[in-house]
Structure 1
Amino acid sequence: MDSRPRVISLYKELHRLGRDYPDPAYNFHGKIRKLFERNRGLTDPDEIESALRLAEYIKQAETLALYALRKYRHLRRSYHPILDG
């Protein structure tokens, strides 16, 4: 099974998600690019699958959770401006 389309799709999705990353100083795009470039030479299917699972984890657990937190903070500031001082 060719994993190349899956890798490209995942990279594009992470790159899209990184556009609105809450902390611009974190350099999300640079870190994602380094992660994918570091694993570029993998040939073992098990290692490739492991790297793809890590990227999926980053997408699901970390990035989307940060967006949810950002959205929550925005709503909290909108409805309770006194609490944020």
Structure 2
Amino acid sequence: MESVHTSELLGRPVAKAWNAALAGTRQAKGVPAGTPGHLAVPVAGDSDEAKRVAMRLVDEIDPGTISRQATAGHGGPRRERAFGA
């Protein structure tokens, strides 16, 4: 319901992407998009265009190191940005 509320508040579609792989799996098996064996990241949303934007961002943005990501999750500082679809 949080995403529905956010979408209504912004007046824009919302898509969510989340990491479903453990850090060790990503470190051992993580390869760039287009490489055989590339790990998939789940993306959900009601708008096909918003999902395409989210998938492109997942493939294009380097999230940095595991230690940097540890501070971006629950309880840590978060950076959020609205992307137009």
Q: TM-score, normalised by structure 1?
A: 0.29
Structure ranking higher in strand proportion: 2
Bigger radius of gyration: 1
Where relative contact order (Cα < 8 A, 6+ residues apart) is larger, the structure is 1
Q: As a proportion of its length, which structure holds more helix?
A: 1
